[in-house]
Amino acid sequence: MKRIGILTSGGDAAGMNASVRAIARSAMSAGLEAYGINYGFAGLVAGDIHKLESIDMDGIISRGGTVLYSARFPEFAEEKTQLKGIEQLKKFGIDALVVIGGDGSYHGAERLTQHGFNSIGMPGTIDNDIPGTDFTVGFDTAVSVALDALDRVNDTATSHQRTFIVEVMGRGAGDIALWAGIASDADAIVIPERDYDIEAIAEKIKQNRANGKDHNLVVLAEGVMSAAEFKEKLDKFGTLHTRAITLGHVQRGGSPTVRDRVLASRFGDFAVKLLLEGKGGLAIGIRDNKLVASDIIDTLENHKHITDVSLQDLNDRLRF
Amino acid sequence: MKRIGILTSGGDAAGMNASVRAIARSAMSAGLEAYGINYGFAGLVAGDIHKLESIDMDGIISRGGTVLYSARFPEFAEEKTQLKGIEQLKKFGIDALVVIGGDGSYHGAERLTQHGFNSIGMPGTIDNDIPGTDFTVGFDTAVSVALDALDRVNDTATSHQRTFIVEVMGRGAGDIALWAGIASDADAIVIPERDYDIEAIAEKIKQNRANGKDHNLVVLAEGVMSAAEFKEKLDKFGTLHTRAITLGHVQRGGSPTVRDRVLASRFGDFAVKLLLEGKGGLAIGIRDNKLVASDIIDTLENHKHITDVSLQDLNDRLRF
Amino acid sequence: MKRIGILTSGGDAAGMNASVRAIARSAMSAGLEAYGINYGFAGLVAGDIHKLESIDMDGIISRGGTVLYSARFPEFAEEKTQLKGIEQLKKFGIDALVVIGGDGSYHGAERLTQHGFNSIGMPGTIDNDIPGTDFTVGFDTAVSVALDALDRVNDTATSHQRTFIVEVMGRGAGDIALWAGIASDADAIVIPERDYDIEAIAEKIKQNRANGKDHNLVVLAEGVMSAAEFKEKLDKFGTLHTRAITLGHVQRGGSPTVRDRVLASRFGDFAVKLLLEGKGGLAIGIRDNKLVASDIIDTLENHKHITDVSLQDLNDRLRF
Amino acid sequence: MKRIGILTSGGDAAGMNASVRAIARSAMSAGLEAYGINYGFAGLVAGDIHKLESIDMDGIISRGGTVLYSARFPEFAEEKTQLKGIEQLKKFGIDALVVIGGDGSYHGAERLTQHGFNSIGMPGTIDNDIPGTDFTVGFDTAVSVALDALDRVNDTATSHQRTFIVEVMGRGAGDIALWAGIASDADAIVIPERDYDIEAIAEKIKQNRANGKDHNLVVLAEGVMSAAEFKEKLDKFGTLHTRAITLGHVQRGGSPTVRDRVLASRFGDFAVKLLLEGKGGLAIGIRDNKLVASDIIDTLENHKHITDVSLQDLNDRLRF
């Protein structure tokens, strides 16, 4: 083992740079070399690969986005493209690859592993929807950015006694909605993992209003429907002065939080440790506050992310 | 002069609370009483009026929204409603009224003045579109919030070499777009005060990209068109990997910036000073960094806000 | 069980309000009443106690400090004062007490429990130094505030090639220093749990500088020594352009992070659940990402907080 | 005129990078070349000079510190060193120099002008203490950072009914203290430009406390004395539960505010415009919201910065 390749893939997440830095620096500390691969699997196949120096990693821990760029590359589903990628890795003398990203990125790492090339998947996505880990790098920052907006919306809602319906990201998962909703004192949190009762939500808002609450908030996961659609449905149950907001892409970027920086640092260092021990074909995660690694093929094929839906019940108990 | 009434009206803006506090505290310092009127002109007519104590003003300088609430109230266009409002003011022994808000709010103050009730308009709107002042309270915070999002979007754009079209608020004025655009290194700023050449914008983006810039940004004022519409038009000129974002209501709220807090403090104190000097029927502003007051009727009927469109030229000279 | 008392004690921490809200709201959801006790144990003894309504809890989740105030009260070490406190609780018909705070606060709760009054300790301190839990409410916010300052200091250090020694809080624990140090790419982290080799630190800084790093940072836990003392020692090993900074009280306050708000919400709800089950005399915590409760007397007498010192080794592997 | 040199000098300020970018990009737009000089006048004399490309300026508008580094260089007071600097400028074919910095930096520019080398001083300092301008680049960000800390301190002060004495930067000027003090609802602002009456301050705090204010704040300019000294003096007038805080270096850095970015952009573009018109030997500023240029020698020798001390009176009227 002499050279580790690193790539970021899929939607960008805050902390991807912290992840790249951790892998590269930890590798260097162990006497290995680190190679950066630009534009994810597309750059891998194209051979857009360069040696990383420690100084290149300086200061990037605090920056959003990814210095290795990212790209969509559906062509990597084809075997011949995968083999072309492995060829490039061998050309650069790279012995193992760490892929930082979400679901799709993991599948790329899985395929390389199936072809015998040692690859590790590291969770980097805002959606927190990766099997094999309680938390992904980027999730804490995304929720923080969403909360910042929700705190501001609460201000405005107060001034006008409005009901804001705020759609947050998360793809098929309700994690961002649940955390952001609890933290922003939402009247209701609506997630794809559970049915919702719109009449009960309208009733709750009216009741809260009757009790003197002067602002109302529904946090809606994008996996359920759009804020505009939800508003339309809710408006049928009375005059709640609704406004629909979609937070959108602004949730992706930004300087990562402490949590995401430390988690990325731990993940990156752990990946290098595993590779040094001769292990591979793994998905890295944190479970019950401990670093874990599981077989990447088994993880992707037999497990799925479990959202902690009990947080919705918690919110119901803490609502006005 | 013994009692000053205060109301906030129209869309809320950060710094409205700082404005209320400044009027109330400055009035109290001069031995006057301050009365808060809830829900703008609607609350005025309904008599939703209460005495403000100094301690009520404690801590509100740092909060977004408005503790006096705000409301739309088109009925105030009718004379009999206006007279009803004056009746309420007299019932509470209020001698003069300060109205914090935007365009529409000023018209309310103007009408009361025309009926002989001494009223002062104080600029509180994120749009910066009030005649008689270079800056409104709320503008600096709104641009700051927008910039925060734009800095994050630049991170994401970098990772994917995307062109983001970000629609910011401002109603008919391009001020938010201009300031936020310059501050975020936008490739182009599109404002309602000037025609735009979409082909030239596409060309500029391509050229910047050819020169190595790995993210592109168009800041679009809502007064021109929506981000989605602009994206559609821009996409006709080639593959620029466009994404449309509408920042929306999150620009309104939030803890006011230093500028907005100090400006609100100066405006509020100035309004009280004018009333103590027996003046009224005025619109307050800051021009060339000096506090000014102009006749509110003349200001509304014969003047309009002039956006400093030369900022667009400045941005063109500073673009990549 | 009909009435739950709540008090905050010791140094304030972000998330104390979120904790109060969670206990009160969860209690109300279960049909109980919640009583707030002002100024910690001092207010308890003085009978400064009032019923909390749901609307009082509105909006406080986002605010730093504590709406119940806090106070030092060494007199509570005396038995007769403790009994006076219990008398007050009985007078108000309060059946159980939740104490939010750090070490000292826990001892108060322990003593009441020893006198037979059902009390629960809930971890609220920035220092993360409570036995029985991996994380305390307030820790994540304190580290975030520290990191914000460290990111800024890195900017300045870059401009002048300086070595900044930044002293962070934590009392006897190095947790804040470790997390903030990893997240800010510190050249060295110095904590009370481990000896430090100042010559090695100076050597590392020189070496990093020789390799092109243009800013240097030592994050120092206040439990070791002051920044000024450390600077003096470090200056003996050569011209490193050192500057000493003490972050101080600004680390305490501020709007709590998502983590702290959610953790506080979970803790508060859990405390109510335990009380409803007839349990008490407990210290609440989160261990391995699971809510846990341990005997408060045993926890305080036989356990102590274990700082994860392996984070220092991690930082050493990730340094430039 | 073909080549413009740029250097940053003295204490770093947020917005220095935005200034460098604006000069460089505006110069390039006019067909000129821009050269960056590292480490201020020290680098000038040493010939640490390099051509700037547009892409080097990409993204720096949002970063604190200065990409051109800064350094103290008292040797530049000697004529022979100044002539050596001019020699270097000529060697690189540089026709004019823009110096970004504070007082001391201006003197460097003044001396070069006296030797016949066309130099322009651009205000970049957090202290706002430059003659010839109402505002300097970096001031708005420094006050914003200070305010952020003061808002947090207000949270903590509330919890413990403490009086915080917070020392802010500003060298000999009270501008930061005045703006931050008004914006944070300080009980008193103490500045070097005016005498203070410590007994009256203590009296005011006691009175505010008697009226129910549960936190007290004195904002102190570093030019008066240290927070620790002030605390000692104040403690003689009774038990006010004082705590002294020195904000220190954290005020310098950080991502610049909108105001500072736009001001830097306008200044930089204006400097290039003046040079293109064949003008030079100037100090740039903004006065009454208009860009102005004044003779640099006259400005430094016959004018000084006037702090708007009326802001202290304003604060007195708005205090609790």
187-216 of B, contacting D, C-beta below 8 A:
211-213
Q: What is the pLDDT of residues C202-237, one digit of tens each?
A: 999 999 988 888 789 999 999 999 999 999 999 999
CA distances A201 to A153, A163, A318, Å, are 19, 11, 15
Of the listed ranges A103-107, A291-295, C50-54, the least confidently predicted one is A103-107
> What ranges make up the beta strands (E) of chain A?
3-8, 33-37, 49-52, 96-101, 119-123, 163-168, 188-190, 216-221, 242-246, 282-287, 290-295
Residue with tokens 């074909």: A281
Range of the domain at B211: 142-253
In a shared domain, residues B164 and B240: yes
D contact test, residue of B262, B318, B319, B320 with most D CBs within 10 A: B318
Question: If you measure CA to CA, which chain C residue comes closest to A209?
Answer: C55
User: How far is Cα A278 from Cα A272, in angstroms, rounded to an integer?
Assistant: 10
Residue C262 domain flag: yes
Catalytic-residue membership of C235:
no
Q: What percent of chain D has pLDDT above 90?
A: 86
The answer to whether residue B320 sits within a structural domain is no
Residue B164 lies in a domain: yes
Instruction: Look over chain B and give the mean of its residue pLDDT values, rounded to a whole number.
Output: 95
Averaged pLDDT, A135-142: 98
Please indicate, yes or no, if residue A316 is contained in any of the structural domains: no
Residues C272, C127 within the same domain: yes
Domain presence at residue B308: no
Query: Considering only CA atoms, which of A171, A108, B186, B263 is closest in space to residue D183?
Result: B263
Which CATH number goes with the domain that contains D159? 3.40.50.460
Question: How many angstroms separate the CA of residue B219 from the nearest CA in chain A?
Answer: 14
CB–CB of B183 and D26 under 8 A? no
Looking at residue D274, its pLDDT comes to 97
Of the partner residues B65, B152, B160, the one whose CB lies closest to the CB of residue A156 = B65
Same domain, B107 and B55: yes
Q: How confident is the model at residue B267, as a pLDDT?
A: 98
Mean pLDDT to the nearest integer, B174-198: 97
Rounded to whole angstroms, the Cα distance separating D227 from C79 reads 39
Annotated binding site of C for ADP, which residues?
21-25, 213-215
Q: Degrees (nearest 5) of the Cα angle D11, D16, D19?
A: 145
What average pLDDT does the segment A99-109 reach? 93
Which of the four pLDDT bands, split at 50, 70 and 90, describes residue B195?
very high
The mean pLDDT value for C145-173 works out to 90
CB–CB contacts below 8 A, A to C: 128
Within a domain: D314: no
A185 touches C at CB < 8 Å = yes
Indicate if C133 and C156 belong to the same structural domain: no
- DSSP per residue, C85-153: HHHHHHHTT--EEEEEESHHHHHHHHHHHHTT--EEEEEB-TT---TT-S--BTHHHHHHHHHHHHHHH
Same domain flag for B217 and B191: yes
Same domain, A235 and A261: no
Q: Do B249 and A214 touch (CB under 8 A)?
A: no
Report the alpha-carbon distance of residue B115 to residue B81 in Å, rounded.
12
Q: Note the pLDDT tens digit of each residue in A112-127.
A: 999 999 999 999 999 9
pLDDT of res. A237: 95
Task: List the binding residues of C.
Answer: 11, 21-25, 72-73, 102-105, 125-127, 162, 169-171, 213-215, 222, 243, 249-252
Query: Which tokens is D213 given?
Result: 């204010």
Same structural domain for residues C129 and C22? yes
Looking at the predicted structure, is the pLDDT value of residue D119 above 80?
yes
At residue D157, does pLDDT exceed 80? no
Type of residue at C169: M
Cβ distance A55 to C140 less than 8 Å, yes or no, reads no
**For C268, nearest residue in chain A (alpha carbons):** A318
Q: What is the mean pLDDT of residues D219-248?
A: 95
Chain-chain contact of D265 with B182 (C-beta, under 8 angstroms):
yes
Q: Are residues A67 and A117 in the same domain?
A: yes
In the stretch 225-254 of chain A, residues with CB closer than 8 A to chain B read 243, 245-250, 252-254
Whether pLDDT at D28 is above 80? yes
* CB < 8 Å from C in window 58-117 of A: 58-59, 61-62
Q: Identify the residue with better confidence: B158 or D228.
A: D228
Count of beta carbons in the 10 Å neighbourhood of residue D47: 15
- What's the pLDDT score for residue D156? 78
Of the ranges B105-114, B249-258, B269-278, C154-163, which one carries the lowest mean pLDDT score? Answer: C154-163
The DSSP bridge partners found for residue A8 are A100
**Mean pLDDT on A123-143:** 97
Contacts of B259 in chain D (CB under 8 A): 140, 259
Express each pLDDT in A13-62 by its tens digit.
999 999 999 999 999 999 999 999 999 999 999 999 999 999 999 999 99
Average pLDDT value over all residues in chain D? 95
**In the block, which residue shows the tokens 């401002």?**
B170
Mean pLDDT of A197-219: 92
Specify whether C284 is located in the same domain as C226. no
Judge whether residue A85 has pLDDT over 90. yes
User: Which among D12, D193, D223 is positioned nearest to D102, based on CA atoms?
Assistant: D12
> Is 90 exceeded by the pLDDT of residue A192?
yes
Q: Where does the pLDDT of residue A108 fall: very low under 50, low under 70, confident under 90, or very high at 90 and above?
A: very high
What mean pLDDT is reported for chain A?
A: 95
Residue C307 maps to a domain: no
**Is pLDDT at C30 greater than 80 in this prediction?**
yes
Give the pairing of strands B119-123 and B282-287: parallel
Helix (H, G, I), strand (E, B) or coil at A246: strand
Task: Note whether A165 and A118 are same-domain residues.
Answer: no
pLDDT tens-place string over residues D162-200: 899 999 999 999 999 999 999 999 999 999 999 999 999
Number of domains chain D is built from: 2
Q: What is the pLDDT of residue A40?
A: 96
Q: How far apart are CA A257 and CA A269, in angstroms?
A: 18
- Show which of residues 50-69 on chain C sit within 8 Å of chain A, judged by CB atoms: 54-55, 57-59, 61-62
Question: C112-129: per-residue pLDDT in tens?
Answer: 999 999 999 999 999 999
Q: How close B236 comes to chain A (CA, Å)?
A: 22
D143 with B258: Cβ contact below 8 A:
yes
- Fill in the DSSP letter of residue D174: -
Among candidates A134, A138, A141, which has minimal Cα distance to A292? A134
Q: For B65, which of A12, A14, A159 is closest by C-beta distance?
A: A159
- In 3D space, the residue among A40, A54, A142 whose CA is nearest the CA of residue A98 turns out to be A40
Of A191-195, B139-143, D69-73, least confident by mean pLDDT is D69-73
Residue type, A232: E
Q: What integer pLDDT is reported at residue A202 of this predicted model?
A: 96
Which of the residue ranges A151-165, B82-96, D237-251 would you say has the lowest mean pLDDT? A151-165
C316 lies in some domain: no
Q: What is the mean pLDDT of residues B179-184?
A: 98
Quick one: average pLDDT of A221-247?
95
CB contact under 8 A, D183 and B288: no
CATH code of residue D119: 3.40.50.450
- A1 pLDDT band, cuts 50/70/90, is confident
Report the pLDDT value the prediction gives residue A115, as an integer from 0 to 100: 95
Whole-prediction pTM: 0.96
State whether A50 and A124 are in the same domain: yes
Q: How confident is the model at residue B250 (pLDDT cuts 50, 70, 90)?
A: confident
Interface test with C, best of A152, A258, A266, A288 (most C CBs within 10 A): A258
- C chain contacts of residue A311, beta-carbon cutoff 8 Å: 262
pLDDT of residue C211: 87
**C245 and C266 belong to one structural domain:** no
